[in-house]
Structure 1
Amino acid sequence: MSTDTQHSAPPGEPPGRAPAPPDAPADDRRLFGGRIGSVEVLAALLVLLIIFRAPLATALAEPRLQTWTTVFVSIMVQAVPFLAFGVVLSAVIAVYVPRSFWAKALPKHPALAVPAASAAGVVLPGCECGAVPIAGSLMRRGVTPAAALAFLLAAPAINPIVLTATAVAFPNNPEMVLARGLASLIVAMVMGWLWLRLGRADWIRLPRRPELDDASRGRAFWAAVRHDVTHAGGFLVLGAMAAASINVLVPERWLQTLADNAWLSVLALAVLAVLLSLCSEADAFVAASLSQFSLTSRLVFLVVGPMVDLKLISMQAGVFGRRFAFRFAPTTFAVAVLVAVGAGAVLL
């Protein structure tokens, strides 16, 4: 019998290699397993940036790329504070608010819970980036999906900050504030009721959240915050990148051509709202600058934007699943355009 001791390798390990001791730190176990972690990836990226800093500096000096960078950064700067607010509020709802609270706060009948949840958006200042994780937490706490989705659509559009910004952006058209608030509230309620009628539970796939079962509420809170920042923040970055790319590629001269046709101008600004992916606290100033378009067209821009845009669709796909996002977003777009046009015809 040979006196050499052979270590039996676990599955996936090269033969002859001794396994890491069970009490070894996580980094050591990863090293013994030959895996590459996020620290190694970050170090490699930093090295590549140092090596290729000269060609990167030349590329960044190109005007179109500078415009892309400016749009991307501006979207992120606008959205991140409200995303952080929404993530913290989402974690509070998920960890500290008991399920029984929602049974008492909202009407028991789902059809009545929809307008109640829509009206709750008035008292919760926030952007659509923060409303997505909040709506996910509401569903996990037992709130009917129709009510949570109504809140998701209403909160970014009818809260006091957004309505005040609209009043400042349109000082000579105070009716825009009423038209935006009323139209957005109607869209949120209609979509909630449509979900009650046509929605299916298997269209929503909320990610599993085992970290929320932690015995310590403090640990569960921070675990929920880390999860939502990573999950929602990643999709926000993808949406902002797509919006910046489209912003650079669409020629500005097309806008004036579209503005000359009443119906095309409505559709053009609706699509533009989706592509630009502006934060709802800032979109009123962009709409006011599009003075070549009618007030109704700009109202459509203000109603559609907080409810359907590239970053929001990306975040909805990440939080609720792609099957949900690819059904909910087009329907919301159509309802928002129709309601905004109707509100513009009556109030503007």
Structure 2
Amino acid sequence: MSTTGTETVRVDHRDADEQQGRRITSPLVLTMLLLLVLTAQGPLRRALAAPVIQSWTTVFVAVFVQALPFLVLGVLLSAVIAVFVPPAFFARALPRRPALAVPVAGVAGAVLPGCECASVPVAGALMRRGITPAAALAFLLSAPAINPIVLTATAVAFPRNPEMVLARFVASLLLACAMGWLWQRLGRTDWLRPPARPSSDGLSKGAALWGAVRHDVMHAGGFLVVGAMAAATLKAVVPAGWLQRAADSPVVSVLVLAVLAVLLSICSEADAFVAASLSQFSLTARLAFLVVGPTIDLKLLAMQAATFGRGFALRFAPATFTLAVLLSALVGAVAL
């Protein structure tokens, strides 16, 4: 009996040794990958030298590098709000009536020097602090479009058309307030997933701040990468000749530049210079580009879905896009 037990143990050890020998370890995977790259370096070099790949890489890096600093800024502001600002502050700063809180929050967006990537986590922090979603959403839409940095960049990009600055300010603020009121009127609580963050009970202020920053960077950063990849892919495959043909129709040109703003996903600090370079289009069409871009694009859609829920993003994004196009056309007809 004991001999059989000993043989069983030896068999078990032999099986374990064989499994250990067959196990694929991380160094082995890395070595195989390096050998594969070295073997195929010729085809890889030719593939990476292709114009479409170079264009894709350029757009991806540009979108990501432009957005990342402002995403970090927004995450830091969000963490500071969550950890250091008491909820009672916001209750005192905004009117109690949601209908009045919406325009106040919209105008308050002018004081945040950041882009749309920064406004998403900050709006999430405002909701966590008890601000009505309508006011937080108005802030989310206005902050990246009417802050001093964006308006200054617009003035520099359009030195011969200073009316573009006023038109952008008015159209963007009207859009933010209108969407806030629309959400207050028609929005449902089950459409909006409240932004969550791990509890910081029992932690010091410093530990809670670091935990909040780490959570939001990991949560939103991945979706920023996905949005940048999608924008680069679409930019690389859209024929340039389509833009020239679209500019000949006033209505089509507005829609084309509105859609282009969604696809390119350019940060609001840089979009005015891109719009100025599209000189074949009318000022109204370029205004649509400037109003739509900071409120809804590919990376914003992904970040809003990650922060507030996919059900919210699938309803909020189309409504924002439609209203942004209509207000751009209206303000452009009057001011431009």
Whether the TM-score (by the shorter chain) exceeds 0.5 is: yes
Structure 1 unpaired stretches of 5+ = 3-15, 18-35
Q: Hey, what does 1:165 align to over in structure 2?
A: 153
1:95 is displaced (CA, Å) by 1.0
Q: Hey, what does 2:49 align to over in structure 1?
A: 61
Q: Hey, what does 1:99 align to over in structure 2?
A: 87
Distance 2:216 2:28 in 1: 25
Q: Please say which of residues 338-347 and 46-55 is displaced more in the overlay.
A: 46-55
| 1:325 has 2:313 as partner | yes
Judged with a 3 Å threshold, the aligned counterparts in structure 2 of structure 1 residues 148 and 300 are, in CA distance, closer, same or farther, namely: same
Aligned counterpart in structure 2 of residue 189 of structure 1, from 163, 166, 177: 177
Q: Hey, what does 2:258 align to over in structure 1?
A: 270
Aligned counterpart in structure 1 of residue 33 of structure 2, from 40, 48, 54: 48
Judged with a 3 Å threshold, the aligned counterparts in structure 2 of structure 1 residues 201 and 262 are, in CA distance, closer, same or farther, namely: same
Equivalent position amino acid for 1:78 in 2? Q
1:47 is displaced (CA, Å) by 6.2
Q: Hey, what does 1:237 align to over in structure 2?
A: 225
Distance 1:159 1:45 in 2: 47
Q: Larger % of helix: which?
A: 2
Distance 1:104 1:41 in 2: 55
1:276 is displaced (CA, Å) by 0.5
Q: Hey, what does 2:245 align to over in structure 1?
A: 257
State the Cα deviation string for residues 219-270 of structure 1 (Å, max 9, x = none): 1111110111111111110000000000011000000100001100010000
Aligned counterpart in structure 2 of residue 132 of structure 1, from 114, 120, 127: 120
Aligned 1:281-320 pairs, distance under 5 A: 281-320=269-308
Distance 1:308 1:230 in 2: 21
1:212 is displaced (CA, Å) by 3.1
Equivalent residues of 2:258, 2:289 under 8 A apart? yes
Equivalent residues of 1:156, 1:280 under 8 A apart? yes
1:48 is displaced (CA, Å) by 2.5
| 1:223 has 2:186 as partner | no
Equivalent residues of 2:75, 2:118 under 8 A apart? yes
- Partner SS state of residue 200, structure 2: helix
Judged with a 3 Å threshold, the aligned counterparts in structure 2 of structure 1 residues 47 and 158 are, in CA distance, closer, same or farther, namely: farther
State the Cα deviation string for residues 258-303 of structure 1 (Å, max 9, x = none): 0001100010000000000000000000000000000000000000
1:338 is displaced (CA, Å) by 0.6
Equivalent position amino acid for 1:142 in 2? G
Structure 2 unpaired stretches of 5+ = 3-11, 14-23
1:43 is displaced (CA, Å) by 9.5
Judged with a 3 Å threshold, the aligned counterparts in structure 2 of structure 1 residues 48 and 99 are, in CA distance, closer, same or farther, namely: same
Judged with a 3 Å threshold, the aligned counterparts in structure 2 of structure 1 residues 110 and 256 are, in CA distance, closer, same or farther, namely: same
Where in structure 1 do 4 or more consecutive aligned residues deviate above 4 Å? 40-47
State the Cα deviation string for residues 145-198 of structure 1 (Å, max 9, x = none): 000000000000000000000000000000000000110000000000000000
Equivalent residues of 2:124, 2:195 under 8 A apart? no
Distance 1:46 1:112 in 2: 63
Equivalent residues of 1:95, 1:220 under 8 A apart? yes
Judged with a 3 Å threshold, the aligned counterparts in structure 2 of structure 1 residues 50 and 103 are, in CA distance, closer, same or farther, namely: farther
- Partner SS state of residue 279, structure 2: coil
Report the aligned-residue RMSD.
2.5
Distance 2:58 2:97 in 1: 47
- Partner SS state of residue 213, structure 1: coil
Equivalent position amino acid for 1:335 in 2? L
Q: Hey, what does 1:11 align to over in structure 2?
A: none
Equivalent position amino acid for 1:123 in 2? V
1:98 is displaced (CA, Å) by 0.6
Equivalent residues of 1:90, 1:133 under 8 A apart? yes
Distance 1:175 1:341 in 2: 15
Q: Hey, what does 1:202 align to over in structure 2?
A: 190
1:208 is displaced (CA, Å) by 3.1
Distance 2:315 2:67 in 1: 24
1:207 is displaced (CA, Å) by 4.4
Distance 1:186 1:156 in 2: 14
Equivalent residues of 1:211, 1:223 under 8 A apart? no
Using the aligned pairs only, state the percent identity: 68
